[in-house]
Structure 1
Amino acid sequence: MANWQGVAEFVAVAESQSFTRAAVQLNVSTAHVSRQVRDLEQRLGSELLYRTTRRVSLTEAGQIYYQHCRPLLDGLGNAERAVGNLQTIPQGLLRITAPVTYGERHITPLINRFLQQHPKVTIHCELTNQQLDLIDSNYDLAIRLGRLENSDLIAKRLGSRQLWTCASPAYLAAHGEPHTLSELTHHQCLVGTLNHWRFNNAGQDQMLRVEGVLRCNSGEALLDAALCDLGIVQLPDYYVTTAIANGKLVSVLNSYQPENEGIWALYPPGRQHSPKVRMLIDYLVEHL
């Protein structure tokens, strides 16, 4: 393996033609420069410099060695600057995954604006409701909703979401409005991936098993079913707030409404030191 010891000192002397000026340039002592160059010559078994009391010049071997060393030092400097830039300027590929509907409505629009501000970043975004393994699949960042499972991933809270239990006015007119959790057993519940709904009952978190005429893993499909008067649905705010605001849906069981759930950015340990990951997370926190 090549030994870099003394190379920077030799190049500095060769270019300045002075041990003293080379020492000033490298911010070291003249004795240090002289010792490093002497050790380098001994290691190479060849004299690199002619030394007189008035000047320093390159020998033939020194000229050849300098011609090879100068590009190497330039490359090393470029490599160090490239790594330094990675710590300050967001650049390169960033792989992210997010839930489908929330990703379409809230995450990808922010990603697009983030890319406008940081043209050196490339983002590959996969929208899926499956919880992908970030480490095995080499993802930098995942957006997760609700309660988190224990893992070795680092979590940063981006915001929160509220679950709403609601139904259309026509359904409530035909079947009545439930006022207690036990009354849900007499209603058609439009069920998603989980077969239970979350409520807050007298300050305690309560999971209630529900059943109905429709089970579907799509929030959009469940929303449409509720709008079609098929039953009661429990969905996050970003699905139903507009429909509640314009009267197409009515929120029910408001006294049992569960506490807000988190919206999270998850990433493997060490990724927070990457500017592209850190700055995207900060951007999401600001706008969510």
Structure 2
Amino acid sequence: MAWDGISEFVSVAETQSFTKASQQMGISTAQVSRQISELEKRLKTRLFYRTTRKVTLTEEGRLFYRHCRGLVDSLEAAEQAITNLQVKPQGKIKMTAPVTYGERHILPLLNDFMSVYEEVQITVNLSNDKLDLLEQGYDLAIRLGKLVDSTLMAKMLGQRTNYVCASPSYLAQHGSPVSLSDLHNHSCLLGTLDYWRFKEKGKDRHIRVSGTLRYNSGFGLVDAALKGLGIVQLPHYYVETHLQSGDLVVLLDEFSEPDEGIWAVYPQNRHLSPKIRLLVDYLSEHLK
């Protein structure tokens, strides 16, 4: 039959293992291997590269996966409709979120969500990389800032504000910048980018900055700013408590860019199942 081997193929593609796929599906490894072999014979193409350590998709396999993932999603959606998951959400959700924002805001909300909906199973990969949701089998992603991938559907969950700030001790010693060009005379604490974003006279400005340190850690940059090592630009969830206490002071506020979006995104060809819709609505309600 045309469907034979499809579920096994998708499972192996996503787990990158015949053994893990067999465990996931509750069948023997030999049966998974046999179904994949029959599928490759029927298609007259090789779908996987197999070594003793790893199983990866061939180019033809990646193309086939993109289509098959949608078929499996449609089958799952049909089963969900029959079992009426709108009443009792259950099943797996695979999602990704940025590391720091995910740790501080998303994971605690997921814990609250799962304490209410106990039959939902959530797997989260915290990563600052823009992962391919379709190819890697993700149902949902949390992304920050401007969205550039037009192939994804998106719902805004909230907003974040970026602040430029420094400690009173740094400002007492070096003075406060009053224009964007003044930043060139200051020690700027760098993250992964070598420029900061501003808005001046209605136009976006990217100002190249430099300093004596560069961290890929927002918490490390906050600590450096608190210790008077320079000026930093970071989202509100890193600095808001320090701004409230006066340990950090906002600078160049008149040049701040508009707040950025916090988004839930998902592939267009994925059926937004009741459990995912419920989770997105839950996140939206609590993040706002």
The amino acid across from 2:119 in the alignment is K
Q: Compared with structure 1, are the counterparts of its residues 271 and 116 closer, same or farther at alpha carbon in structure 2 (3 Å cutoff)?
A: farther
Q: Compared with structure 1, are the counterparts of its residues 217 and 198 closer, same or farther at alpha carbon in structure 2 (3 Å cutoff)?
A: same
Q: Are 2:200 and 1:201 equivalent residues in the alignment?
A: yes
Q: CA deviation at 1:89?
A: 3.1
Q: Which structure 2 residues correspond to residues 158-237 of structure 1 after superposition, within 5 A?
A: 158-237=157-236
Q: Which structure 2 residues correspond to residues 232-251 of structure 1 after superposition, within 5 A?
A: 232-251=231-250
Alpha-carbon distance in structure 1 between the residues aligned to 2:246 and 2:80: 59
Partner of 1:267: 266
Q: Deviations over 1:216-245 (max 9, x none)?
A: 111111111111111000000000010011
Percent identical among aligned pairs is: 56
8 Å contact kept, 1:146–1:262: yes
Partner of 1:281: 280
8 Å contact kept, 1:271–1:277: no
Alpha-carbon distance in structure 2 between the residues aligned to 1:132 and 1:150: 11
8 Å contact kept, 1:272–1:278: no
Alpha-carbon distance in structure 1 between the residues aligned to 2:90 and 2:192: 37
Q: Return 5+ residue gaps in structure 1 as ranges.
A: 2-78
Partner of 1:52: none
Q: Compared with structure 1, are the counterparts of its residues 179 and 120 closer, same or farther at alpha carbon in structure 2 (3 Å cutoff)?
A: same
The amino acid across from 1:225 in the alignment is A
Q: Compared with structure 1, are the counterparts of its residues 81 and 208 closer, same or farther at alpha carbon in structure 2 (3 Å cutoff)?
A: closer
Alpha-carbon distance in structure 2 between the residues aligned to 1:218 and 1:205: 25
Q: Compared with structure 1, are the counterparts of its residues 81 and 205 closer, same or farther at alpha carbon in structure 2 (3 Å cutoff)?
A: closer
Q: Secondary structure at the match of 2:184?
A: helix
8 Å contact kept, 1:193–1:215: yes
Could you tell me the TM-score, scaled by structure 2's length? Answer: 0.70
Q: CA deviation at 1:91?
A: 0.9
The amino acid across from 2:253 in the alignment is N
Q: Compared with structure 1, are the counterparts of its residues 187 and 279 closer, same or farther at alpha carbon in structure 2 (3 Å cutoff)?
A: same
Q: Secondary structure at the match of 1:86?
A: coil
Q: Deviations over 1:107-126 (max 9, x none)?
A: 01110010011111000111
The amino acid across from 1:219 in the alignment is G
Q: Secondary structure at the match of 1:191?
A: coil
8 Å contact kept, 1:190–1:211: yes
Q: Secondary structure at the match of 1:94?
A: strand
Q: Deviations over 1:137-178 (max 9, x none)?
A: 111110000111133111110000000000011100110000
Q: CA deviation at 1:87?
A: 4.9
Could you tell me the TM-score, scaled by structure 1's length? Answer: 0.70
8 Å contact kept, 1:153–1:266: yes
The amino acid across from 2:155 in the alignment is K
Alpha-carbon distance in structure 1 between the residues aligned to 2:270 and 2:84: 16
Partner of 1:252: 251
Q: Secondary structure at the match of 2:150?
A: coil
8 Å contact kept, 1:95–1:125: yes
Length, aligned pairs only: 211
Decide which moves more: 86-95 or 219-228.
86-95
Alpha-carbon distance in structure 1 between the residues aligned to 2:135 and 2:241: 39
Q: Deviations over 1:254-278 (max 9, x none)?
A: 1111110000001112445301110
Partner of 2:124: 125
Partner of 1:102: 101
Partner of 2:61: none
The amino acid across from 2:156 in the alignment is R
Q: CA deviation at 1:84?
A: 3.8
8 Å contact kept, 1:89–1:275: no
